């Protein structure tokens, strides 16, 4: 029976050989992630349900990333409750300020191709970059999984996205996913799987695929999926098997829509305030003065992102009166960027380099803005109030576009190296 990638993955996980889009199946969960904001709510609901132990302490990952360092009076309460939960129930994997949850889940090897993973954050779709079905859930669902190891899901319909050819030098995977969100709209993939393929996708690094999977939720997608390959296996530290490479959508499978892009026709784009699907070419926005640039987050805080920004800023200085804030996605990324000289270039250009974390992206700490200010940022959302007051203008862009804006003091096209 011809099948999409998500159908194959869930059939394998559940043992339901005929599972197809629209069917309800009970998935066997391979891993869960709970971040610090949700820990108190998950803990209360878990105990309210009458559970007294975790179904598998090795499969539970607690990550402190949104509220570190504490910036509001209630933040330490989340930390205390999280520590008490870990002490009482014994989850084996606890990360305190090691990095952003979505970076750590793949970087630390918690997610493998073919896994079913859930997390208490909407951008859990990120792990589709390694061929996993991953999706964000609420604290009630999470508490149920902690006690049972299972969760029912409706098998998503699939939108197939094919990108072929060679990208222009100043266009990245961030530009591709922004273009796609603009074409689909913010609700155009609601509860669908986005299945990515094509020669451009095959040439991408896992880090570039992560950017696209991360932002799939901005079109409403339930998950985003990339077929595992040698790059995936190398990144995950596993051997590539036929079972992994078989996780590929069949040509004859039912797709509710197929979208094709020719890579050489794509251009640098930005999402304009204050909707992530309001996409315009950077060339049409040139000249708009800015106050701040943010390079980081679970979307674009990886080593290749920081290196792309450094390539633009090498030998340059941040424009007068512009703040450039750089936040590596994890401690490992920070150290790697320090070792290869990337942070030297960024610091030399005038960047403020912060600890790994989510503070600025979620508008809590580390460079929030005020009325009338305009920021070019590499994160995933530009909603009103996302990075400060409701009168802050947020433009979402690739690391190269963001770095070019920082040097110019205004929106400009990134150079084509």
Segment 304-363, tens digit of pLDDT: 999 999 999 999 999 999 999 999 999 999 999 999 999 999 999 999 999 999 999 988
Contact criterion met (CB below 8 Å) for 101 and 298: yes
- Domain co-membership, 18 together with 144: yes
What percentage of the chain reaches a pLDDT higher than 70? Answer: 100
- Domain co-membership, 124 together with 204: yes
The structure tokens listed for 71 are 């910036």
Contact criterion met (CB below 8 Å) for 270 and 280: yes
C-alpha closest to that of 397 among 211, 168, 195, 202: 211
Q: Specify if 416 maps to a domain.
A: no
Structurally, how many domains does the chain consist of?
2
CA–CA gap between residue 268 and residue 11 (Å, rounded):
38
**What is the model's pLDDT at position 93?**
97
The structure tokens listed for 60 are 């539970």
- Domain co-membership, 276 together with 161: no
C-alpha closest to that of 27 among 160, 109, 131, 144: 144
Instruction: Please say if the pLDDT value at position 365 is more than 90.
Output: no
Q: Specify if 85 maps to a domain.
A: yes
Whole-prediction pTM = 0.97
CA–CA gap between residue 197 and residue 226 (Å, rounded):
7
Average pLDDT over residues 408-415: 98
Question: Where does a domain end: 222, 246, 263?
Answer: 263
The structure tokens listed for 193 are 């799987």
Question: Where does a domain end: 211, 228, 263?
Answer: 263
219: alpha, beta or left? (left if phi > 0; alpha if psi -120 to 50): alpha
Q: How far, in Å, are 31, 35, 221, 382, 417 from residue 105 at the CA level?
A: 9, 11, 20, 24, 32
- Domain co-membership, 22 together with 104: yes
- Domain co-membership, 107 together with 242: yes
Residues 6+ apart with CB under 8 A from 386: 361, 362, 363, 392, 394
- Domain co-membership, 367 together with 230: no
What percentage of the chain reaches a pLDDT higher than 90? Answer: 96
**What is the model's pLDDT at position 1?**
85
- State the pLDDT confidence band at 364, using cuts at 50, 70 and 90: confident
Q: Specify if 415 maps to a domain.
A: no
- Domain co-membership, 292 together with 258: no
CATH number at residue 324: 3.30.499.10
**What is the model's pLDDT at position 417?**
79
Average pLDDT, the chain: 97
Q: Specify if 417 maps to a domain.
A: no
Q: Specify if 356 maps to a domain.
A: yes
Q: What domain range includes position 243?
A: 5-263
Q: What is the pLDDT of residues 87-108, one digit of tens each?
A: 999 999 999 999 999 999 999 9
Rounded to the nearest angstrom, the gap between the alpha carbon of residue 222 and the centroid of all alpha carbons in its chain is 13
Rounded to the nearest angstrom, the gap between the alpha carbon of residue 412 and the centroid of all alpha carbons in its chain is 25
Question: Where does a domain end: 263, 281, 308?
Answer: 263
- Domain co-membership, 255 together with 339: no
- Domain co-membership, 117 together with 239: yes
Sheet containing 257-262, strands listed edge to edge, beginning at the edge strand earlier in sequence: 223-226, 192-197, 157-164, 257-262
Average pLDDT over residues 367-389: 96
- Domain co-membership, 276 together with 325: yes
Q: What is the pLDDT of residues 51-84, one digit of tens each?
A: 999 999 999 999 999 999 888 889 999 999 999 9
Q: What is the pLDDT of residues 128-157, one digit of tens each?
A: 999 999 999 999 999 999 999 999 999 999
Q: Specify if 125 maps to a domain.
A: yes
**E-strand spans in 114-256?**
116-119, 133-136, 150-154, 157-164, 192-197, 223-226
The structure tokens listed for 63 are 């990550």
CA–CA gap between residue 353 and residue 333 (Å, rounded):
12
**What is the model's pLDDT at position 376?**
98
């Amino acid at each position: 029976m011809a099948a999409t990638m998500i159908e194959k993955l869930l059939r394998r996980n559940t043992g339901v050989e005929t599972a197809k889009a629209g069917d309800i199946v009970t998935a066997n969960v391979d891993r869960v992630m709970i971040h610090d904001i949700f820990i108190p709510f998950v803990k209360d609901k878990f105990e309210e349900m009458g559970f007294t132990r975790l179904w598998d302490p090795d499969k539970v990952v607690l990550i402190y990333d949104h509220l570190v360092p504490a910036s509001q009076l209630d933040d330490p309460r989340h930390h205390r409750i999280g520590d008490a939960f870990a002490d009482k129930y014994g989850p084996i994997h606890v990360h305190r300020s090691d990095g952003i949850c979505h970076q750590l889940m793949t970087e630390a090897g918690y997610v493998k191709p073919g896994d079913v993973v859930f997390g208490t954050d909407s951008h859990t779709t990120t792990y589709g970059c390694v061929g996993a079905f991953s999706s964000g859930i609420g604290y009630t669902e999470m508490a149920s999984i902690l006690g049972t190891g299972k969760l029912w899901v409706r098998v998503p319909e699939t939108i197939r996205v094919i990108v072929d050819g060679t990208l222009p030098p100043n266009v990245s995977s961030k530009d591709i996913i922004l273009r796609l969100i603009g074409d689909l709209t913010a609700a155009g993939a609601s509860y669908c799987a986005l299945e990515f393929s094509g020669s451009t996708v095959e040439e991408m690094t896992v880090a570039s695929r992560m950017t696209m999977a991360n932002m799939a939720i901005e079109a409403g997608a339930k998950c985003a999926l990339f077929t595992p390959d040698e790059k995936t296996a190398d990144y995950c530290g596993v051997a590539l098997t036929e079972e992994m490479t078989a996780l590929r959508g069949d040509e004859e499978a039912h797709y509710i829509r197929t979208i094709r892009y020719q890579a050489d026709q794509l251009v640098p784009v930005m999402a304009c305030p204050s909707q992530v699907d309001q996409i315009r070419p950077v060339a049409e926005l040139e000249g708009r003065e800015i106050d701040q640039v943010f390079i980081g987050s679970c979307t674009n805080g990886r080593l290749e992102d920081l290196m792309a920004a450094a390539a633009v800023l090498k030998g340059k200085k941040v424009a007068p009166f512009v703040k450039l804030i750089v936040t590596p996605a994890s401690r490992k990324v920070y150290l790697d960027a320090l070792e290869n000289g990337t942070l030297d270039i960024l610091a030399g250009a005038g960047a403020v380099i912060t600890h790994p974390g989510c503070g600025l992206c979620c508008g809590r700490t580390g460079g929030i803005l005020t009325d009338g200010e305009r920021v070019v940022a590499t994160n995933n959302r530009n909603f009103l109030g996302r990075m400060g007051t409701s009168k802050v203008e947020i433009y979402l862009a690739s690391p190269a576009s963001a770095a070019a804006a920082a040097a110019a003091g205004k929106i400009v096209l990134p150079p084509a190296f």
